[in-house]
Structure 1
């Protein structure tokens, strides 16, 4: 969990990055910004850091070759943290690298902020950090102010909403040998061109801890049930909901995942087990994620995944049936006279 209330901004540098595919250029400033207004510092801290309060995924720098030093952002961050590069020089190198990574015509130009931070808290420990943020979206704001016993109204164009950070990452000065710990967000564009921020610019791989192993496992299991089982088994929607409910109950009740236990208690079918293991391996290779036969279960990841695990049968526009368990108490049939499907539900008492 990321906590920033006690964090302080030590240094701030601002540049501008255009899109070279649109023949735009970058603008590098000569020195950092002098922050002498406490209110402005608090507003900037809110703008830069508050979006990360709900971020759980932790990444690290990586490179396809396996050599971390070939990742440009790792090289720049490491040089700054170890004293080999001054902060403003670090920000200038980051600006040039981001410009080089802006290789899609739909990428928007914008201001690039580099921030040196002290006192950010991650998983209960205080750390030094650097933040890299980009503002792409501008808005128009109305301003109402008193004037000679009345009120006047004005406006300001091309202003920035401090509650809407477009892109950002926080690089924590910890786990250096593993590629540092990094939090990242991209809230402006989730299409293909948005991948440049995490992949082309930062070069990140998700950290394989309990949160990510739990979340990735539940994600791939859901895809497996909804998409892959139909190729081998004839399953009704109620059967799929039952399989999803059983997996969610397993992760809620257990403290750790054990592969053989999960296969027996949830899947319960050797053919389905073999099919799922093949499906899981393909997912791991494609997403650079690995699943051990044993890992601790993250309650935070379970709660996050639960919101996407649907246990509702939607019948036309008339009825919704919520299924929480006891698959054997619901039956599907077809009424020849009405020419319609039906469900029969058994229960002991009405509440």
Structure 2
């Protein structure tokens, strides 16, 4: 339930725009609260979550510090909302960043997947203004007036900070639908967040590192055909779709089979973790949403010159590769043409 809301106007400091801070919260009727709640919260469709971090002490993260103060004492809501707006104003270092209204909102008692009630703080920025028409009756006629305002169809930028896991930087949902040539502005410069170390993260990272291994590293070390690469990708995706939990040893033995290929993947994964400064678990519950989001990157396509594309979805044994006097060829076996 939306219980507190205040709006500030944050311009682009680099472009000599101003910062305007409201003194008081907005007083809204229930219909408007419901409308705004839907507008703000419906923007968060992904299960991917983030957490605040700092290069030194977590308390030095400006948004984390303000959120912690509000969760501790809601009487500080107005004061800390001003600090959030000031921080956003000060960190703007790109002329492409658009100014806009910043809504700071306190939600009481949202329901989690586990059935628990938890409070949250929302920070939402509107940047784009869309034209709309107002039709007004005048005497026996109508007049049309053009104006500009905030569309409720899509939120430009937002984050939702849940009052849980404070010691590791809270759990946060983030959306940025208007990057304006400044992709780091919202995630890194303002919020300073990174992805949470949860089942979504481990599912996504394992899929990503395996795909890179199959498409980049495997062809360099082993004599492997395009159909075999496609088969590895198809089988790996099927594994994630059918299993509830991931076990690294089970996965590598079932998908890669050959001990030399398995050893190569282990080394590749280790180098990836060191380079990206992450640690990917070898046992975790598989997150179905992460699998669904990443499956479009596992399309197994064999491109033949500029003439044909072969999309491989299943049985590797139904594809044969060869060469004759006319050139290289693939032979495909099927039961039904659709």
Normalising by structure 1, what TM-score?
Answer: 0.87
1:142 aligns with 2:129: no
Q: In structure 1, the residue corresponding to 2:279 is in which secondary structure? A: coil
Q: What is the aligned counterpart of 1:38 among 30, 34, 54? A: 30
Matches within 5 A, 1:153-302: 153-157=144-148, 159-189=149-179, 191=181, 193-302=182-291
Judged with a 3 Å threshold, the aligned counterparts in structure 2 of structure 1 residues 349 and 164 are, in CA distance, closer, same or farther, namely closer
Residue of structure 1 equivalent to 2:330? 343
Residue of structure 2 equivalent to 1:23? 16
Q: In structure 2, the residue corresponding to 1:106 is in which secondary structure? A: coil
Q: How many residues align?
A: 337
Residues of 2 paired with 1:42 and 1:240: CA distance?
50
Q: In structure 2, the residue corresponding to 1:44 is in which secondary structure? A: helix
Shift of 1:21: 2.3
1:132 aligns with 2:123: yes
Judged with a 3 Å threshold, the aligned counterparts in structure 2 of structure 1 residues 200 and 278 are, in CA distance, closer, same or farther, namely farther
> Is the Cα contact below 8 Å between 1:208 and 1:289 reproduced in 2?
no
Shift of 1:318: 6.6
Residue of structure 2 equivalent to 1:68? 58
> Is the Cα contact below 8 Å between 1:60 and 1:182 reproduced in 2?
yes
Shift of 1:229: 2.5
Residues of 1 paired with 2:336 and 2:260: CA distance?
37
Consecutive unaligned residues in structure 1, runs of 5 or more? 1-7
Consecutive unaligned residues in structure 2, runs of 5 or more? none
1:113 aligns with 2:106: no
Shift of 1:100: 2.1
